[in-house]
């Protein structure tokens, strides 16, 4: 087990990261442009149309308030789908065997998928950021926090993607988590509204929603304030990321559904 | 195909050094169970470094499971595997670098061109692209794939896919090549090409471990043969001895007219089939043929034709694996 956590094949790890990025580029119309287009639509329909009536939320114009939530929405989707579909396709077409017979440790394989997911997430997050700067004149005030939260959330959902990519028996299974868990949690997690506007009962429920803390932490990096203290949201997000990453590592080291 | 060498070159191999005189494969009491099903049952097997080894058995006998245990795609239930002295579980990085696998089922990366398939595979083995570009081109050339180097694997013909399987297995210059049914579904010409290629590799020191359903292939290529049946090893010996020990060659003589009394020395193993006008003599060594024919002629037999059937691996295989 200790050996499967070792890093000794740097070239192998870089090769895997490169392969994942090549894959992303080959399906760019499927994975990079759609989140950008849908962000544009959200900003126009919700931000500009609705914003005219809502004015400000947490002291910023509504359209600017939307941007961090939209970044999280797309980062979560991008990282989960990158790692889950790549791992699952690799299993489905057996091409993951190329990695499994090579001198690559579980830690190297997981890191490869996670790093590639993080890169994809940062590309998308920054494209949305540029849109936000141009359209609604908002940029992060705390860049370290912005990058930190984006990376930790990307690690969390890339790890979840690996876990589901390993467990799924058909493509359909990958969509179960997105459709029934992730998407609902994201939409009620404060992308479009502050918890302060919610009825008390719903507001308390949203504290049980992990995505709420992710969006709140990222919003901190833009506005300098949020619904919960920054320590709390960062703590929740980091703990979840560590748990997901650990589970993905253990499953890969054990060869769950990989090494029969 | 060109005559470029596919043998490993000094300084470009990912393979760690292995001590001299160590077996290429040493499997001790390997078992693999899936629930109640025993796929491999207490298998002990050694393949010497430099050997050309044929691993035979009927479908579902445990050949691919054994290979997958060797390369790490299957976790063995019990037992141990060493590759050139490196334990496949505790020293897996070294063990895996020494093996090139050409699996039975195609498992190529469909996002990459076939040249990149080779370059990336080398990368997973720790060889950076600048070191393997030339070797990748050389292998593509050698396997008649150079004109397709920018295409993905989906665009290749069946024979080309087979050749790519081999090229990929060789990209990191392994010391041992494991081939699972390398010539399944390829035409006669390509099969002969692959045979000569495997011989060339073996001659240059690469250990070869192959499974095949074509017994002629094993008989022609392999110096040593193991036969597995229901997960158990039922034979393990040099091909020549296996044929001698289990296969009985027979001499069939076609006779014109009545069959006279057989010479006394042959009576025990000669059978006259009068209806067919044949005499069949069993357990004949090739050096005896002239002597036996002379004895039959002296006894007054009018011989019109002679058929000497050497024992084939197929006979041996059926004898050993028949339930």
CB contact under 8 A, A102 and B121: yes
User: Does A194 have pLDDT greater than 90?
Assistant: no
Query: In angstroms, rounded to a whole number, what is the distance separating the alpha carbons of residues B250 and B307?
Result: 8
Query: In angstroms, rounded to a whole number, what is the distance separating the alpha carbons of residues B301 and B80?
Result: 61
Query: Where do the domains of chain B lie?
Result: 25-238, 247-321
CATH class in words for B25-238 = alpha beta
Mean pLDDT of chain A: 91
Region A30-39: mean pLDDT is 90
Percentage above 90 pLDDT, chain B: 52
Please tell me the total number of residues recorded for chain B in this structure: 323
* pLDDT at residue B16, rounded to an integer: 54
The CATH number of the domain covering residues in B247-321: 3.30.70
* pLDDT at residue A60, rounded to an integer: 84
Whether the Cβ atoms of residue B22 and residue B159 lie closer than 8 Å to each other: no
Evaluate whether B25-238 and B247-321 have a shared fold. no
Tell me whether residue B223 is exposed, middle or buried, using C-beta atoms within 10 angstroms of its C-beta: 0 to 12, 13 to 18, 19 or more: middle
B216-266: per-residue pLDDT in tens? Answer: 888 889 999 999 988 999 889 898 887 776 656 778 888 888 787 777 777
ipTM summary value: 0.91
Chain B's closest residue to A6, CA to CA, is B93
Residue B272, phi then psi, degrees to nearest 5: -90, 125
> Which of B73, B7, B32, B58 has its CA nearest to residue B227?
B58
- Residue A129 structure tokens: 């950021």
Whether the Cβ atoms of residue B195 and residue B171 lie closer than 8 Å to each other: no
Region A70-93: mean pLDDT is 95
B322 pLDDT band, cuts 50/70/90, is low
Mean pLDDT of chain B: 86
B98 CA to chain A: closest CA distance, Å? 10
**b/e map A139-170, b = 16+ CB within 10 Å:** ebeeeebbebbbbbbbbbbbbbbbbbbbbbee
> Of B34, B97, B108, which is closest to A103 when you measure between CB atoms?
B97
Instruction: Select from A6, A16, A82, A102 the residue whose CB has the most chain B CBs within 10 Å, as the one to mutate to test that interface.
Output: A102
B5 pLDDT band, cuts 50/70/90, is low
* pLDDT at residue B202, rounded to an integer: 95
Percentage above 90 pLDDT, chain A: 69
Query: In angstroms, rounded to a whole number, what is the distance separating the alpha carbons of residues B94 and A247?
Result: 27
According to DSSP, the residues that pair with B27 across neighbouring strands are B45, B81
* pLDDT at residue B127, rounded to an integer: 94
Whether the Cβ atoms of residue B96 and residue A81 lie closer than 8 Å to each other: no
Task: Taking each helix axis as running N to C, give the angle between helix B129-142 and helix B114-124, from 0 to 180 degrees, rounded to the nearest 10.
Answer: 130
Whether the Cβ atoms of residue A43 and residue A139 lie closer than 8 Å to each other: no
User: Does B323 have pLDDT greater than 70?
Assistant: no
> Which of A210, A114, A115 has its CA nearest to residue A162?
A114
> Of B72, B99, B110, which is closest to A93 when you measure between CB atoms?
B110
CB contact under 8 A, A259 and B123: no
Count of CB atoms situated within 10 Å of the CB of B157: 9
Region B9-18: mean pLDDT is 48
A58 CA to chain B: closest CA distance, Å? 46
Could you tell me which residue, A209 or B285, shows the higher pLDDT? A209
In chain B, residues with a C-beta closer than 8 Å to the C-beta of A10 are 126
* pLDDT at residue B20, rounded to an integer: 60
CA distances from B157 to B107, B144, B207 (A): 15, 12, 28
Instruction: Select from A101, A105, A252 the residue whose CB has the most chain B CBs within 10 Å, as the one to mutate to test that interface.
Output: A101
Radius of gyration over every alpha carbon of chain B, rounded to an integer in angstroms: 24
User: Does B12 have pLDDT greater than 60?
Assistant: no
User: Does B1 have pLDDT greater than 50?
Assistant: no
Between B147-151, B271-275, B299-303, the lowest mean confidence (pLDDT) is in B271-275
User: Does B30 have pLDDT greater than 90?
Assistant: yes
Query: In angstroms, rounded to a whole number, what is the distance separating the alpha carbons of residues B247 and A183?
Result: 68
* pLDDT at residue B17, rounded to an integer: 53
* pLDDT at residue B7, rounded to an integer: 53
Q: What is the widest separation between alpha-carbon atoms in chain B?
A: 78
User: Does B99 have pLDDT greater than 80?
Assistant: yes
Between A38-52, B136-150, B176-190, the lowest mean confidence (pLDDT) is in A38-52
Query: In angstroms, rounded to a whole number, what is the distance separating the alpha carbons of residues B203 and B252?
Result: 38
- Residue B173 structure tokens: 């210059």
Tell me whether residue B246 is exposed, middle or buried, using C-beta atoms within 10 angstroms of its C-beta: 0 to 12, 13 to 18, 19 or more: middle
In chain B, residues with a C-beta closer than 8 Å to the C-beta of A3 are 90, 92
Chain B's closest residue to A91, CA to CA, is B107
- Residue B150 structure tokens: 């920018």
> Which of B296, B302, B291 has its CA nearest to residue B255?
B302
> Of B71, B74, B124, which is closest to A99 when you measure between CB atoms?
B124
Query: In angstroms, rounded to a whole number, what is the distance separating the alpha carbons of residues B149 and B166?
Result: 15
- Residue B114 structure tokens: 């076939």
């Amino acid at each position: 087990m200790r050996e499967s956590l070792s890093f000794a094949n740097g070239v192998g790890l870089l090769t895997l990261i490169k392969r994942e990025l090549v894959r992303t580029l080959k399906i760019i119309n499927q994975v990079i442009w759609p989140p950008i287009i849908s962000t544009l639509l959200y900003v126009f329909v919700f931000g500009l149309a609705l914003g005219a009536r809502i004015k400000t939320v947490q002291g910023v114009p509504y359209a600017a308030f939307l941007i961090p939530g939209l970044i999280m929405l797309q980062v979560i989707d991008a990282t989960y789908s990158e790692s889950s579909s790549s791992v699952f396709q690799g299993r489905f077409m057996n091409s993951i065997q190329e990695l499994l017979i090579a001198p690559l440790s579980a830690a190297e394989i997981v890191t490869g998928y996670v790093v590639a997911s993080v890169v994809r997430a940062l590309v998308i997050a920054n494209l949305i950021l540029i849109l936000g700067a141009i359209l609604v004149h908002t940029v992060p005030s705390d860049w370290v926090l912005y990058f930190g939260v984006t990376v930790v959330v990307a690690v969390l959902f890339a790890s979840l993607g690996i876990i589901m990519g390993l467990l799924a028996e058909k493509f359909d299974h990958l969509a179960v988590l997105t459709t029934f868990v992730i998407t609902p949690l994201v939409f009620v997690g404060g992308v479009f509204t502050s918890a302060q506007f919610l009825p008390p009962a719903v507001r308390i429920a949203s504290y049980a929603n992990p995505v709420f803390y992710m969006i709140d932490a990222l919003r901190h990096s833009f506005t300098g304030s949020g619904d919960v203290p920054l320590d709390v949201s960062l703590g929740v997000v980091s703990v979840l990321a560590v748990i997901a990453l650990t589970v993905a590592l253990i499953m890969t080291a054990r060869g769950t559904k990989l090494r029969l | 195909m060109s005559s470029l060498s596919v043998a490993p070159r000094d300084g470009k191999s990912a393979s760690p050094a292995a001590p001299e005189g160590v077996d290429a494969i040493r499997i001790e009491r390997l078992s693999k169970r899936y629930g109640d099903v025993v796929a491999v049952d207490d298998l002990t097997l050694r393949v010497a470094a430099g050997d050309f080894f044929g691993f035979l058995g009927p479908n579902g006998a445990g050949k691919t499971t054994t290979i997958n245990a060797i390369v790490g795609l299957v976790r063995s239930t019990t037992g141990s595997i060493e590759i050139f002295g490196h334990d496949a579980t505790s020293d897996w990085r070294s063990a895996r670098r020494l093996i090139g696998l050409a699996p039975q089922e195609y498992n190529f990366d469909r996002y990459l061109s076939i040249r990149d398939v080779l370059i990336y595979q080398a990368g997973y083995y720790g060889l950076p692209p600048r070191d393997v570009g030339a070797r990748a081109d050389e292998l593509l050339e050698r396997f008649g794939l150079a004109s397709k180097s920018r295409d993905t694997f989906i665009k290749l013909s069946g024979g080309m896919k087979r050749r790519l399987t081999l090229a990929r297995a060789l990209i990191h210059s392994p010391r041992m090549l494991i081939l699972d049914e390398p010539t399944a579904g390829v035409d006669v010409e390509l099969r002969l090409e692959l045979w000569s290629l495997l011989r060339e590799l073996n001659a240059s020191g690469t250990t070869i471990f192959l499974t095949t359903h074509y017994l002629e292939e094993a008989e022609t290529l392999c110096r040593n043969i193991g036969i597995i049946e229901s997960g158990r090893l039922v034979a393990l010996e040099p091909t020549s001895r296996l044929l001698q020990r289990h296969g009985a060659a027979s001499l069939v003589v076609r006779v014109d007219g009545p069959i006279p009394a057989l010479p006394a020395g042959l009576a025990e193993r000669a059978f006259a089939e009068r209806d067919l006008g044949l005499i069949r003599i069993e357990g004949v060594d090739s050096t005896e043929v002239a002597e036996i024919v002379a004895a039959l002629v002296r006894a007054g037999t009018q011989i019109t034709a002679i058929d000497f059937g050497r024992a084939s691996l197929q006979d041996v295989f059926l004898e050993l694996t028949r339930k």
